[in-house]
A = this chain, B = another copy of it.
């Protein structure tokens, strides 16, 4: 007799998963288990199968979002913000989750250390031009949150200045939400030991050397400071219109499935529709039939 499956063994649906991962009142980052797989207890193989199936669902939702934006019928757009410590798998989310949708509809930005020109402006100056337009999925690999993370940890600006940024971010994101942007902000959460194991891999594979920098280990020493800065950003900037989700990410397959599922849930809530014809369908069919008769005669 087959083992009876319990409810807990069924993957959570996107809405339920969002509730499980969402940063709400009383959230404490230190209590989140980085190697857990909440909402998906069936293991890696099943997770990879679910990811492949979800890719179709996400592709279909994105196509409708894009179509609505393209014709002007819809004003919705989606912004995925990906944050996490070095090696937490941000690039893998781009490749394995974002990579399954139509590149035409994706606007990807990897934010690096700001240039001299960018530093001469307000911290949101370089971010605003990169927000997605109607129908598009914007992807921020790192984001304006670095301005309250690395900046806070290393005191790159005075405390009085970074302290103001939480409110500035909330105002900015509320503005985006008001324009029709659905935000999905994810922090990929790994343990310090897992980070070291991933850095180790990069040091023993010549095809991974390019991903390694000596500053990675220097930064590792600031782990606790980063966790504190994340705790502040997550709790101060998780709003109803722009919630934060903390995704346990020691298991890459889980993090990918979870982020995909959050995106599917967000787009399902937007529920973009195929635009109605902006022309007289019967008339165009008749015009076309007449031409086709000539061309294929």
A interface vs B, CB < 8 Å? 67-68, 70-71, 73, 91, 94-95, 98-99, 102-104, 106, 108, 110, 139, 141, 192-193, 196-197, 199-200, 203-204, 206-207, 209-214, 217, 220, 274-279, 281, 284-285, 287-288, 291-292, 295-296
Contacts and interface: CB of A to CB of B under 8 A. Distances in A.
Contacts of A98: 103
Main secondary structure of the interface of A (DSSP, over half): helix
A209 B278 CA distance: 8
A296 B291 CA distance: 73
Contacts of A277: 206, 209, 212
A140 to B, nearest CB: 12
A81 to B, nearest CB: 16
A11 B200 CA distance: 42
A94 B99 contact: no
Nearest to A68: B210
24 contacts: A67-B210, A68-B210, A70-B210, A71-B210, A95-B103, A99-B99, A99-B103, A103-B103, A103-B106, A103-B108, A104-B141, A193-B295, A196-B292, A200-B285, A203-B281, A203-B288, A209-B274, A209-B278, A209-B281, A210-B274, A212-B279, A212-B284, A213-B279, A214-B279
B210 A275 contact: yes
Nearest to A66: B210
A62 to B, nearest CB: 11
A203 B103 contact: no
A285 B200 CA distance: 7
A283 to B, nearest CB: 9
A103 B139 contact: yes
A93 to B, nearest CB: 10
Contacts of A212: 277, 279, 284
B196 A291 contact: yes
Given A103-B103, A209-B277, A274-B207, A193 B67 contact: no
A284 to B, nearest CB: 6
Contact of A296 (B71, B106, B141, B193): B193
A1 to B, nearest CB: 40
A196 to B, nearest CB: 5
A103 to B, nearest CB: 5
Contacts of A70: 210
Nearest to A104: B94
Nearest to A296: B193
A275 B209 contact: yes
Nearest to A279: B214
Contact of A197 (B274, B279, B292): B292
Contacts of A281: 203, 209
Given A200-B292, A213-B279, 13 more contacts: A71-B210, A91-B104, A94-B102, A94-B103, A95-B104, A98-B103, A103-B103, A103-B108, A104-B110, A207-B274, A209-B275, A214-B279, A220-B291
